[in-house]
Amino acid sequence: MTAAMWLIVSYLLGSIPTSYLVGRLAKGIDLRQVGSKNLGATNLYRSLGWRYAIPVGLFDLAKGAIPVWVFGPRAGDGPWWPLALGVAAVVGHVFSVFVGFKGGKGVATTAGVVLGVAPWATLVALGLWAVVVRLTGYVSLGSIVAAAALPPAAFLLDPGSRPVVAALVAMAVFVIAMHRANIGRLLAGTENRFGRRGAP
């Protein structure tokens, strides 16, 4: 296949609306109409629980890792192709063609991309995410902190990723921008915590 075709395949893989399908098939609900109305694993957790959210989160992570690890070597030479295919998957996750160009916020799929490009940085970011969520109860804050930590961690811990650090910065900015509504609620003190709503 041509490089352009690999980009399309990566986008379509990322576009698989995992949480939407699980919500529909398991309970007959449309996640676009419940909770935060976001098609991500966090909203699925709040609606259906960990039993459904954990497999969905892992699948969303795989949607980012597979283009990097599997498609990248087949698409072309150089460090940019795997990352470009991963970015296409993230775009597919956030703007899925299968559900009216809606989707999740791209955190898990971005983590899968970076896992393929900079594995040590990904472990650091996941550790920070877990610590922040544990201490504060805010998944969104953990995701923002993890995204911000990825580029410097990749530069320091994964020398092979340095040619694409600028692209990792762009991905981090994109993920943080997708959380702009959450940032507003965090500042207002109305953001949802694990297991309960924010204060009115």
d(C-alpha 65, C-alpha 63), whole Å: 6
pLDDT band at 2 (very low <50, low <70, confident <90, very high): confident
**Of 41-45, 84-88, 120-124, which range is least confident?**
41-45
Contact 171, 110 (CB under 8 A): yes
**Packing angle between helix 41-48 and helix 18-27, nearest 10 degrees?**
20
pLDDT tens-digit series, residues 18-29: 999 999 999 899
- How much is the average pLDDT of 58-75? 93
- How much is the average pLDDT of 22-51? 88
d(C-alpha 142, C-alpha 6), whole Å: 32
pLDDT tens-digit series, residues 155-184: 999 988 888 888 889 989 999 999 999 999
d(C-alpha 23, C-alpha 45), whole Å: 10
pLDDT tens-digit series, residues 124-140: 999 999 999 999 999 99
| pLDDT computed for residue 38 by the predictor | 85
Model's pTM, two decimal places?
Answer: 0.81
Q: Where along the chain do its domains lie?
A: 3-188
